[in-house]
Structure 1
Amino acid sequence: MTDVVAIEGPGFGRPRITFTVFRSMDDPMLRSWVRFRSPLVGSSAPDEPHAPGRGDDPPWRGRPAEAAEPGFWRLLASNNREVGRSYLLYRSFEHARAHVQQVQAEPDALAVAFVSGPHNGARGWVVTFQGTPVMTCARWYDSTSARAAAAAGALSALPAAHVADGPDRSGPSGRFLRRAEQGAGIA
C-alpha cells in the first residue's frame, strides 16, 4: 500500500495572482513588461487607463518619481503558466493588491477586447473592468480561435484566483527574490 500525501494550502490547484515590485525603473523584467505592453497602449485597445474606484489612490502610470516600489501583477494557472498580466503599473504592492481585490469582487464588470499585435498575424486581448483596461494577454497568438480561448480562460480564472499576501521582488541582478527568501517584515 502506498501512502498518499495531500498537498494543501492557499491557492493550490487553482489560479493565483502574484505581484512583483522593482527597485528601479531600469529593471530588465520591468522593461520587458513595458515593451510587451506598448503595442497594446497604442493599438485598438481601449483608452488609456484612469484611476480605478472612486476616491481611491490611483495606480501610478507615468511619473516615476511617484512610485516608491513600482510593480505589476500576473495571473498564473495552477501549473504556474502565465495566463495574463496587469495592464497597469502600480505605485506599490498595496495599491496593486487592493485593485485586484476590487476587480475580483465585481466579475460582471469584466469584458474582453480583442486587439492586433505588433506584427502581422499577432493577435491579443485586453480585459477591461468597468471599461478600463486591467489585464493583458501574456503572449501573442497566431490564430483568432487560440486568442479567444485564452481570453475566455483568463476571464474565468481572474475572479477565482488566490491573491498572494506579499510581493516577489526583483533583486540587484534582475533575478527574482521569492517571498520566502525575503525574510519577515514584508507588508
Structure 2
Amino acid sequence: MTFTAFRSMDDPMLMAWARFRQPFAIRSSAAPQDRPSPRQVAARPTVGAAPGRPEARSGLWRLLATNNRELGRSFHLYSSVEAARAHVERLQGDGANLEIDIVPGPLSSSRGWIITHEGSPVMTSSRWYDSSSTGADAAVGALAAFARAIVSADVDRGALRRTSIRRGPVGAPADA
C-alpha cells in the first residue's frame, strides 16, 4: 500500500481522484443540481486533519498488487501518512466489519465497488467494470489483499514536485 501526498487542493492528480470518487460519494441518490463539483469533493475534511489548517498537505492511499497494478484506493483524504497508516491498521484489525457494495458507475453499463466499514465508505475500486460480477470478483480480491497489505514507509511525493524539465534543441543536453 502506498501513500501519495498533495500540496494543494488544486493538484491535477487529486482532482482526478475526486472526479473518479464523485459517483461513489453521491450514490445516485442526489439530484444532479445537488451534486458537488470535483473541487468540492476534494476539499472536504480529511481524516486526521488539524482543524483550521486548510493549507495542510493531504494525501490518499492506494492498494497495489505485487505487479504495481492498482487494486483499490482510499475513499478519504488524510492529513498525513501517519493518519492513513493508523486508519488502515484499524480497518485491518476489524476486517470482519468490512463489507463490499457494488455501485452503479457514471455510465449505465458501468459498475464499481466500494468497501464500507460499519456503513461508512473506506475504499473504492480504481476503475469501472463492465459487469457487476467482474466488479464483485475484483472487490473480493482487493479485500483479501487489503487484509494482508503493508503500508509502505515511503511517501510518493511526486505530486509535490511538479517541476518541468527544460529541453534544448534535439540532440542537445537536457540542461543546455
TM-score, length-scaled by structure 1: 0.72
Cα distance in 2 for partners of 1:67, 1:59 equals 15
| Partner residue, 1:40 | 24
Aligned-partner SS, 2:129: coil
Residue 173 of structure 1 is aligned with which of 162, 165, 168? 162
Q: Deviations over 1:51-75 (max 9, x none)?
A: xxxxxxx7068x8844611100000
Q: Identify which of 151, 171, 176 aligns with 2:139.
A: 151
Identity score, percent: 49
Contact kept, 8 Å, 2:110 with 2:128, in 1: the verdict is: yes
- Residue pair 1:67, 1:92 contacting (<8 A) in 2 also: no
What does 1:1-187 align with in structure 2 at a 5 Å threshold?
Answer: 17-43=1-27, 59=47, 65-66=53-54, 68-169=56-157, 170-173=159-162
TM-score (norm. length: structure 2): 0.76
Q: Contact (CA 8 Å) 1:19, 1:71: kept in 2 or not?
A: yes
Gaps of 5+ in 1: 1-16, 46-57, 176-187
Higher-Rg member (1/2): 2
Tell me how far 1:124 sits from its aligned partner.
0.5
d(CA) in 2 for partners of 1:110, 1:165? 24
What CA deviation, in whole Å up to 9, does each residue of 1:27-55 have, x standing for no partner?
1111100000011111159xxxxxxxxxx
**How many residues matched?**
146
Structure 2 residue runs without a partner (length 5+): 30-45, 165-176
CA offset digits 1:128-150 (Å, max 9, x no partner) = 11221100000000012211110
Q: Counting helix residues as a fraction of each chain, which structure ranks higher?
A: 2
